[in-house]
Structure 1
């Protein structure tokens, strides 16, 4: 046996000869034998070594065997050590009882029988060794339990931390998770899922009956169909759905799920994640809207340029080019100012500075400007820019800017509900009122009076032109009677198609161009009207054979007017800078022309609409009908 595996046996006797005899008897059991010649020496050995069995003589000087046993049993560490008394005298029954009370486990009389002593000692040695082994196993088991407990605690801590991170990630990503046990018919939603669908996580119990009202009806059938068609080969699917919150709010979501199947291939469980993509959807729609708006503005700009090219007049080619380039440059400068503010408006002072820059605004210059900083809306900024350009062009050709001594003073002020801009010339050639208005004057009159409900006043003072522009802060209803509107917006009839056409267009140049084109086709033109309310007033009590309508009138859709005209049987033609997809579905069957509109594109569509009206009227021409009405 290895020395490390041997146990200690303490032999206590005051006679050396007996100790030698005990040692000789017990040598065969191959354990460590420790000898002590007194009780005190025995206590010292106990303190130094772990003892399995003690053989102690009953009769010893100083401390006899009973006293030593009593002292050993009083110490907690030695309470369970096996003590065998050896006695050379005959002990009575009371002595045996006393010995057992002191903690003895057995008695051996002298003379000692070696086999009996070895057998008894060996029994207690084996018992001690097994007890030690059990203690070692118990300590090892406790250590393993402790380690396993620590591992479980660490694992639980990691799991809780992972769940916390997952919850934070789901919340940050506006996601929710769910699990649906189809066998047990049990569904579990986490807080994120409840938050997406707008329900209380503490009280909401997810089930087929409670979840179905929270999903848009058009999406529910598709989701159920995806579940039904899932298989082990296609156990994962993803779909978009609309969550309908109890408040009625709709949230766009993406649901991703994976299925678990039983041994027969039947779907048994679904686990998934729902992501709220409402913000992304709104951003996509906003981007689409911006793209459409860019297209709209670009087409409108091209249409305005097209109108400038078609409507500009000059005696020479060089004069024509200069006129067209100047007007386009004025629009481009205004566009640049509006782009800087993302089309929120343009500062009037900057606008004046840009338009009059060629004449060196500043100290000692021929043009001076005076007025507070004021931001004009986009549509009014373009009108003012064109008006300033036309005034400057006229002054450079015939007025104060055509000579070295001339001066121009531009001022603006705000009054109740309107902006007043005053253009005043001095020091130039003598001024005479023109016999007829030029193209620039027509643009100013049409844009200010019809498009924004303002006014323009020309004072042809001999000392210099004074022009006053009055622009309302908000679009006001034009207080003209139906008769006035009819009289002011009718163009004399020319031979040709002979139809009565309503024209609605808020961009003055486009309105003038389309009015000329329709007139050249041989039609009456009522308009152009610049707002839905104005056109509604003009349409009351009048009969039109067709209507040409700009879809967007300064941010207001023409749909109410189109609905009223369609109800009365008037064919309508839409003109727009937007794509066809942007048109209200109610009017998707109407003809749609993209800006810029040419006569070649407008005439066949308009002719078909007028013929459609003539057919419904039983062959009576619009001219005959109008003449009959006049009579």
Structure 2
């Protein structure tokens, strides 16, 4: 008869109980071989043991060697024992099972009540009716480590097993150990697979695989979630459809080349995102090869780098703007990281040391300025790295081979976390000033002659700072007579907060003899304080020791007050400039065009509209701009290109700053559309712009009406110009826009709330056509035109425009000296003059031209109010200028040349 191994393991068949132990062991082996559950195998071993040993209780407990405890004990005939053993320490002295696991050998307890090994478990075992026990460790067949313990308990004592009885269990225990080890391996594998699955699912990267030929074989659920494409759409070469069209060919080739060469791939491209269009990702893939080196599969991941990519682009643009801004300054500007490695050096820096940027950036400070200068500045550098701004005067080697004196500032770059990230370096060449100070010390005799007539305060003190001699101006500044001052210490006249720094400077002067400059406050008898500049130097006696200190004092109180006012003004200018830059930036980002030329034309037109609005606001000191004047300025550019009449009709209406900018942009977009597609795109077309005030609520009602152009068909999509109009009027001004595409021309009705309007004192503009503005006559002959402009980019643009109109350019000159040389070297018909060139006003050159009757065109970023009265009739053009405005101004200049 064939016995059922499951019945044998359960011990419920009577014939199993009466079978021989050898046959029972055979069935346990069948259970192990069949991969039966571990619990069933261990229960079968326990039952067989209890059948073989009368009046016994068999127990098998697993051993956790990482925690040295017993767990998951199997006791078929006495489950309470298994519960009691759960979590018990597997250490020597903690019962027979714990001791057997700890020792790695069999342990016999003949009497539980008296044996000290069971002291910790005695009460529990006796309560269960158990009196004796023996236990053997279950060892791993492969490693020999303890995986559990096998124990036989008896209900009578003493009970000591024979060696033969214990050895008869060894076969069963080896099979049980095999089953336990297999169970542990399977459990570890399941945990590993589960860990891997969670790791992959929770990773922000998107895994994928491909066949050896590069065809995609699988993508994760994250791919579907990210792209919105199904897994099936991604397989083979379908994934390429999710790429940005501009990246498709490049990435397809890169992937094909990598798979052909069998080399890893690392590329960046734009991938379709189900959430927000296209996003930048980084794709990496590596091949897995077999023993013969053949590729069996490609494994890859996608990483979303969109924000990082945008940050890199923004940083690159910011660095370029920084370079353009700093290269035009006559100050050495650099940046050092925490390791004193150069990360930036402007053009003046490069010129000073005679090195290109690539030979400075990336090198240590000592490599650029030399050992002597470096060690002289080391203490200051350490202070800057600790977070303090420091300033020093000293010498730096120049490319001409000499040491030049300079004023150096080290400004710490402190991050939001309070850590110093690097140092800004500002160096001003003070060698000229230094030379002048040397000359001053050599001219002591002459100084005595002019001492009392000087317009600045001069004082002579001893080395302790006691006044020995003062001039009249010094008395006026301090508010004290000479008798009151002589014998006083100058420090007693100084504001308490300024004294420590002054004493420190004085100590340095006495030690090194180097003169110094300091700003401080002087107390007057009436309790008021004056800010003064102090230039302090020292004279020495024949023995070389310090003898006297000379102090030159200049009252700068008004200057300090002016600086404060200027600071407040600059903050306001900075605020308005940043707002304007933000608008221009948004315009650049949002403008769409089919070609580079059309993009430039669109952006130039919109920036020109903003510039004209800004000019009008600046002229009114940002108070109110007349709508009619604004409309004529904005629409004049379209009059000539359209070749038709643009008529304006409406009362005088004042616009605030927000409304001025918004309406300027709106009129520009309407004019552009009319020129390209509407009434101004064909002969005979016309535009009427009319406006009025609503008598009920005072709102402004504007109507743009086109007639006589080509047939109009409503657009199928909303263009950027329409968006600009609706956003600027609707969003910015809380107004409304209605666009009607009538068969004979566009009609646009705009409503602006009264809160953006004001009354103006200018005359009404009813009936005045925009065509009266900006029309001129061409000048026939070619002229020699002198261009004076210190900004390289603006100079290039002016030269190009002049030459495009067929005239010869002299220059461009970047300084007054160069302009004067050009004026003397040959004939000049006219001149285009930047009002301020290298911090010098151009008017001396303009006066020379006026003496020779040479007409000039001033170019300025300010209004005409910067021109002296003697040039009230001169032509001017305001920066930044649109091409049309400049051409029109240049034509006016050439008409004056022809009238000479």
Which of the five TM-score ranges fits, normalised by the shorter chain? 0.3 to 0.5
Larger Rg: 1
> Structure 1-normalised TM-score?
0.36
**Structure 2 length as normaliser, TM-score?**
0.27
Larger RCO of the pair (alpha carbons < 8 Å, separation 6+)? 1
